[in-house]
Amino acid sequence: MTFHKEGYTSLAICILFIFVLNALVQFYFPGAHAVKWILYILSFLLFVIIVQFFRSPKITIEANNKHVLCPADGKVVVIEETEETEFLKDKRIQLSVFMSPINVHINRNPIAGVIKYFKYHKGKYLVAWHPKSSTENERTTIAIENSDGVIVLFRQIAGALARRIVWYVKEGDVVDQGEQFGFIKFGSRVDVFLPIGTKINVELGEVVKGGRTILAELADKPAPAKTKAQAEDAFENVKAARPVKNTLKKK
């Protein structure tokens, strides 16, 4: 277990605040022992909260080109078919993970591949479970195409409390499955948009772990549709290879 780099500033501010507050109480109320002990306990709890929030556990990633790994710790709050209108512009299976303040807030790539699309959106700060938070809140949209040509799109979404989204990727980057792509401070939500036909391995309300839980299994990529000319050529080739029976009766 280590401390995440995104927490250094917050930890420094926390320690400074605790030091100043305790120094003031000690200076102005030297005899208020009960108040000082209460303050010591509250200061310790605040320090523990900051440390646990920015914790960065070491995990082992089991990469698999067919698997879609969970991008964050949390609880599955949405599994539904929807229309993705920003980049893919087609029907997808949306799977959303809500991250509470007690979860690890590291975000990880669900698949390996190339970043085909990235965009940051300014927006509102609706509560993360609000239906419109996916399209109206502050957010990032990222799409990765794997080696089979399958694209998985996902979003970091800020909530009412979380107002700081951090990302480490850009369009054109080649990324590994399970690698960190960002961080959301103080709880929020991540949406994942999967191709229709993907096998979903989780259920609503299930607690999931970033980089460890297998959210879904991608279906084999279907063969591209043949053009009319290709279909006619294929038919002619079949005819040429197969002898035609003479159904006329001999006289």
Tell me the catalytic residues.
188
- Strands (E) located in 87-159: 90-99, 106-108, 113-121, 139-145, 151-157
Helix 33-53 and helix 8-28: axis angle, to 10°? Answer: 180
Helix (H) / strand (E) element for 124: namely none
**Spatial distance between the Cα atoms of 206 and 194, rounded to a whole number of angstroms:** 18
148, 114 contact by CB (below 8 A): no
**Spatial distance between the Cα atoms of 74 and 65, rounded to a whole number of angstroms:** 23
Q: Evaluate the CA torsion angle 195, 198, 202, 205 in order and state its sign.
A: positive
Q: Which residues contact 157 (CB under 8 A, 6 or more apart)?
A: 128, 133, 134, 137, 138, 139, 188, 189, 190, 191
120: which strand partners?
Answer: 140
